Copies of this chain bind each other. A is one copy, B any other.
Amino acid sequence: MIDEFYMRLALGEAWKYQLLTYPNPAVGAALLDRYGRLIAVAAHEKAGEPHAEINAFCDAFCAICPDEAKIARLRELNASEDIHNFLRKYHDGLFSGCALFVTLEPCASGGKTPACAPLIADLGVRRVVIGCDDPNPKMSGGGEYLRDRGVAVTRGVCEKECAVLLEPFKRWLRRPFILFKWAQRLNGAIDDGKISCDLALDETHRLRSVCDLLVVGGATVRADRPILDARRVNARAPDVQIVSSQSDFDKTIPLFGVPNRSVSIAPKLEVDSGFIFVEGGLGLLNYLADRIDWLLCYESLALSGGSRSIGFDRRLELLHSGYIGDNIKIWSSIAR
């Protein structure tokens, strides 16, 4: 199979964790052994946890290492640094001659986790295929580092698709990234009861737990009396801004009672950085129309129930779609 095939496997895996890796970029990886046999497809899942390349090495190690005791030891490790050190010490030539496909240039310098490029070279990987160069000057240079260490490096495979995957990251390096999320039925209806499936709700709570600010409209707060926390994934509740021209709210509405979270009320959204997660209705969508970067829709298959649908007079571009549970998950951007 051609390089693009494996890069698309890596891309597909990365999209499953899009934005959940904030403030890191979503990155996917695929690993072939010295015979060209696919031994792992993995992604970076969460900031602070191992990068995509390392998750691919771990998955492959567990699949091909003949020593069960070593696999058990690796599985017990949580810290990225410990996993790096383990792989460097115990790889035993398992990855010698491998080809690694990664949507983003492997990092040359360590951040929260140790740098990937030196480990990749130390493991004896023969070839690294890169989708996009790292736009972050602090982290870039991984490709050159690997080439200097004698690794064959191919750049720009599925470059456009890998660049789309990276867009949120590139934006929040410079300015706020605003995601508008909603759930609807296939008939378009957004009202009338629970719409998302349980896995989609879990993912929504995960997005809340990583964002810098959750934005909701005043009408939604008054009508739905939400909690807007991240209890489904046992994570911290996000700070909330209610966009409303009226600042008087019934403070018994559950979102006000969540500990360790700030709630602000203001008629305008004023943010200058970070990942801004908007769980809005129609009013908020149209108010933020010129500032929204991406939209995320969870769609259930119901063709009945509800009466109101999202009205938005802009052209959307499909970025990616997939499933989560019984819902279809659609990423789009506003054509500009």
Residues on the B chain within 8 Å of A317, using CB: 301, 326
Q: A35-B37, A297-B186, A301-B332 are in contact. Are A318 and B326 (CB under 8 A)?
A: yes
Is A36's CB within 8 Å of the partner chain B? yes
Contact between B187 and A310, CB atoms less than 8 A apart: yes
Q: Are A189 and B186 in contact (CB under 8 A)?
A: no
Q: What residue in chain B is nearest A297 (Cβ atoms)?
A: B186
**A36-60 toward B: CB 8 Å interface, digit per residue (1/0)?**
1111110000000000000000000
Residues of B with C-beta under 8 A to A184: 186, 188
Contact A188 B36 (CB under 8 A): no
From B36, B189, B315, B328, contact of A318 by CB (8 A): B328
Judge whether B304 and A311 touch: CB under 8 Å: yes
Q: Does any Cβ of B come within 8 Å of A85's Cβ?
A: no
What is the copy number of this chain in the assembly?
2
CA A310 – CA B302 in complex, angstroms? Answer: 10
Residues of the B chain whose Cβ atoms lie less than 8 Å from the Cβ of A332: 301
Q: Which residue on chain B has the smallest CB distance to residue A35?
A: B35
Q: Is the CB of B328 within 8 A of A330?
A: yes
With both beta carbons as reference points, the residue of chain B lying nearest to A30 in the complex is identified as B1
Instruction: Report the minimum CB–CB distance from A161 to chain B (whole Å).
Output: 12
- A313 at the binding interface (Cβ < 8 Å): yes
**A297 → chain B, closest Cβ, in Å?**
7
Q: In whole angstroms, how far apart are the Cα atoms of A185 and B330 in the complex?
A: 13
17 contacts between A and B (CB under 8 A): A1-B38, A186-B299, A186-B330, A187-B310, A187-B312, A301-B317, A301-B318, A301-B332, A303-B309, A303-B311, A303-B312, A303-B313, A303-B314, A304-B314, A309-B309, A318-B326, A318-B328
Besides the contacts A186-B297, A318-B328, A321-B322, what 14 more A-B pairs have beta carbons closer than 8 Å?
Answer: A1-B41, A5-B38, A35-B37, A38-B38, A188-B189, A188-B309, A302-B316, A303-B309, A304-B314, A317-B326, A318-B323, A318-B327, A321-B323, A328-B328
